[in-house]
Structure formats: C-alpha cells, structure tokens
Amino acid sequence: MKLIYAIIFTLVFLMFFQINFAKGSSDDRYFSLDSSPYGKSYQEWMEDWWKWYVSVDKLHSPNFEGLIDGHEQVECSYNQNISSPVFHLWFINPDRGQIVEESCNIPQGKAVAVPIDLGLMDYNDPKVDVKTEDNLARIVKESNIFPNEFDITLDGTPLNFTNDESNRVSTDLFNVTLPENNIWYDTAVESLSSVADGWILLLKPLTPGEHILKYTGGYRDHRSDPGIPTGQGNKDPYIQEVTYRLLVNST
C-alpha cells in the first residue's frame, strides 16, 4: 500500500512540476509569436520594420557613421512613423565589430521591435535567377540557417526568446522603397518586391527610465561549428554581442 501511495505521489508531483515548468517558460515581457500586437501579426510587423530600415539612406544610418563623408548624427527615431505603437531598433551591421554598444531614446508607451537575426531578398538581387515569391523565400531562408544562440537579457534578466524554429518569422511578398544613396548601394526603387525571414522580437512597452538590452547575433557554419556539415551554414559566419541602452522618455 505504501508503494502505491508513493507512486501516486510521484506522478502527481511530476504532473505539477511539468505544469509549472510550462507556465514558467512563458515571458510576459514580449508579445508571443502567435499574437497580433496592435492588430498586426508578427509577419506584418517584420514587414513594417524592413520598410522603415531600408528607407533610411546611408547618411542617416548608424551603420555608416565614420565611413562616409557628410554622415549626420541622428536619433533612432529618424524616419519612423510617430503614430505607430511600435518603435524600431536598428539592425547592427556585422562590420561594426564583434562587441557593439548603441543608445536609443524611446517614447513612453511604445513597444520595441528588436531585429535579432533576419534577412531580406528582393527581385533586384543578382542571386535571384527566377523572380517568384517561392524563389525569394527559398534564398532568404537558406541564408538564415544556423544562427548563434541569442542569449538575450533585459536589465540583467534572461528572456526565453531563442533561435528555435518556432520563433522564426517568414513573410509573404511585400514591397519596400529604396531611396537615393540607400544602404545597399542600389539604384533607387519606389516599389521593390521582397520577402523577409528571421527572428524579430517585439518587447512590450517599457517603464520610464533606462533599460539595458543585450543579445548575441550572427551565424555559424561548419568552420565555426564542427556539428554543421561541410559546406552548410552562412557563407560569412560571425558572432556579435550587442548592448542597447534604451532610454524611455517619461513624457
């Protein structure tokens, strides 16, 4: 009889542990991937982020600071839609180094889009031999395999947003606008068909004051990770530690 009670107790304990572990695995500091923050899906917010990011010319992109003549020091809010409930952070170019720090002033009450690891492919890219949505999706997804562990922390506390496939976002075909002197050195285009893929995180609005966001970006291949088959992985593997100092305005 004691043995039966012990077995029952063990089963109940395990069920309780599993339930609480599952509950603990959620994180209410960011919007879940299956949600629709402010009436838009994660796919739509990724499209929104890309439309903003490529609309900024080199003179106003922090990734070109100190690299081109006439570069202007600008706020992170440059060219963003002030009426949007989501504030976009810059993607930090790998050329800026392995350890990078960036600061941004963020209006109170806005969610924050964090581009961890993501890519975009468009019809102007020379790798696109067949101009179809499926081909764009195939190429961009192939460039986004084997990302590094994200190791994301917010104010010193880990976020459970990982590089798992379940957190990966892929868009349908959408259009971006490339300005003159754009970040890709391409000809200006008013409407360029594109597909995006990768990992983007939507933080819920932060409290007023300073917040420190840290994460690891980059990709691996067989040279940086022996577990990856030879010839597979990103052709330009790198690892980058990004620290964002987010200053949330109180007014």
Condensed to tens digits (0 to 9), the pLDDT of residues 186-202 reads 999 999 999 999 999 99
Q: Is residue 168 part of a domain?
A: yes
- CB-CB contact of 57 with 179 (8 Å): yes
Residue 244 vs residue 19, higher pLDDT: 244
Range name among 15-19, 99-103, 242-246 with the lowest pLDDT average: 15-19
- CB-CB contact of 202 with 86 (8 Å): yes
Show the domain range for 198.
Answer: 38-97+105-146+159-207
Query: Which pLDDT band, with edges at 50, 70 and 90, does 223 fall under?
Result: confident
Predicted TM-score of the model (pTM): 0.86
pLDDT tens readout for residues 115-137? 999 999 999 998 899 999 999 99
Q: Which residues of 9-42 are buried (b: 16+ CB within 10 A; e: fewer)?
A: eeeeeeeeeeeeeeeeeeeeebbebeeebeebeb
- CB-CB contact of 174 with 17 (8 Å): no
Q: Is residue 138 part of a domain?
A: yes
Q: Is residue 12 part of a domain?
A: no
Range name among 125-134, 150-159, 169-178 with the lowest pLDDT average: 125-134
Containing 54, the helix (H) or strand (E) segment is: helix 42-55
Range name among 45-54, 70-79, 154-163 with the lowest pLDDT average: 70-79
Compute φ and ψ for 89, nearest 5 degrees: -95, 155
Q: Is residue 193 part of a domain?
A: yes
For the chain, helix (H) and strand (E) counts, in that order, are 3, 10
Query: Which pLDDT band, with edges at 50, 70 and 90, does 112 fall under?
Result: very high
Containing 235, the helix (H) or strand (E) segment is: strand 233-248
Number of domains in the chain: 1
Q: Is residue 68 part of a domain?
A: yes
Q: Is residue 79 part of a domain?
A: yes
Q: Is residue 55 part of a domain?
A: yes
Q: Is residue 186 part of a domain?
A: yes
